[in-house]
């Protein structure tokens, strides 16, 4: 029992992403634009979605909930831990770099491959990505403070400083949530309700209207 508990904790740490709807893991290729039927130039993001391999099937009887664990992207065997190698061998696939759990209504078996054909034109999807890291930034860039030119936050002699962060005698502290300089970017960001403009199954590509978080080449989740 102790061994099982330890394995459950290990798997919980390994699975960074868990969603409540069907979807795929993919890679952001970049942005482009396409012309719509009425001649408008529409900006869109190109995403390589899948193919993803089913590496675990979660059931209510065994795990307490229904879900599929999908894997995407190749990884060297020497950089893969032995517990994860066991999971991949059981699924009959090579080591993968990225794992995520999705909930599907359809039945799937261990080792099945799910492709971009899961999506169709005119669907609406949510895309989850990690925003670009900007490092340590001040209040003007991070929170949109005005600085001297717009005379906000009591500044009159220093161009881009935050101004007062709290009174001295009372409450004699800085309240939680005070907008200050700090690390910016590198956050998990979900962009909701992006329309699928086109699905290209032969290249595993999906074009969605608008932009989504992350740099080119970063891993994203596409939720249906």
pTM of the predicted protein model? 0.81
pLDDT on residue 180: 94
- Judge whether 76 and 19 are in contact, CB under 8 Å: no
Q: Please report, for the chain, the start and end positions of each structural domain, with discontinuous segments joined by +.
A: 14-133+190-223
Q: How many CB atoms lie within 10 A of CB 10?
A: 13
Tell me the two tokens of residue 179: 């907008």
Whether residue 1 has pLDDT greater than 50: no
Beta 67-74 vs 23-35: how paired, if at all?
Answer: unpaired
Instruction: Could you please state the CATH topology (level 3) that the domain comprising 14-133+190-223 is classified under.
Output: Elongation Factor Tu (Ef-tu); domain 3 (2.40.30)
pLDDT on residue 105: 86
Q: What is the mean pLDDT of residues 12-32?
A: 77
pLDDT on residue 10: 42
pLDDT on residue 8: 47
pLDDT on residue 152: 61
* Burial status of residue 25 (CB atoms within 10 A of its CB: 0-12, 13-18, 19 or more): buried
90 or 159, which is more confident? 90
- Judge whether 102 and 147 are in contact, CB under 8 Å: no
Whether residue 4 has pLDDT greater than 60: no
- Judge whether 74 and 94 are in contact, CB under 8 Å: yes
pLDDT on residue 106: 86
* CA dihedral (46, 51, 55, 61) positive or negative: positive
188-217 pLDDT per residue, tens: 999 999 999 999 999 999 999 999 999 999
């Amino acid at each position: 029992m102790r061994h099982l508990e330890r394995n459950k904790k290990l798997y919980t740490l390994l699975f960074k992403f868990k969603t409540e709807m069907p979807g795929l893991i993919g890679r952001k290729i970049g942005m482009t634009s396409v012309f719509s039927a009425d001649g408008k130039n529409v900006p869109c993001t190109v995403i390589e979605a899948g193919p993803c391999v089913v590496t675990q099937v979660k059931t209510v009887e065994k795990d307490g909930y229904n879900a599929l664990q999908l894997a995407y992207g190749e990884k060297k065997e020497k950089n893969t831990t032995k517990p994860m190698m066991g999971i991949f061998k059981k699924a009959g696939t090579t080591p993968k770099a990225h794992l995520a759990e999705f909930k599907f209504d359809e039945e799937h078996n261990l080792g099945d491959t799910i492709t971009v054909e899961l999506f169709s034109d005119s669907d609406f999807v949510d895309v989850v990505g990690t925003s670009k890291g900007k490092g340590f930034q001040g209040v003007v860039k991070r929170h949109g403070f005005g600085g001297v030119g717009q005379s906000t936050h009591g500044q009159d002699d220093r161009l881009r400083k935050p101004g007062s962060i709290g009174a001295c005698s009372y409450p004699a502290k800085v309240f939680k949530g005070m907008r200050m300089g700090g690390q910016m970017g590198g956050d998990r960001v979900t962009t909701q309700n992006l329309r699928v403009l086109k699905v290209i199954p032969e290249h595993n590509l999906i074009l969605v209207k608008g932009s989504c978080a992350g740099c080119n080449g970063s891993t994203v989740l596409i939720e249906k």
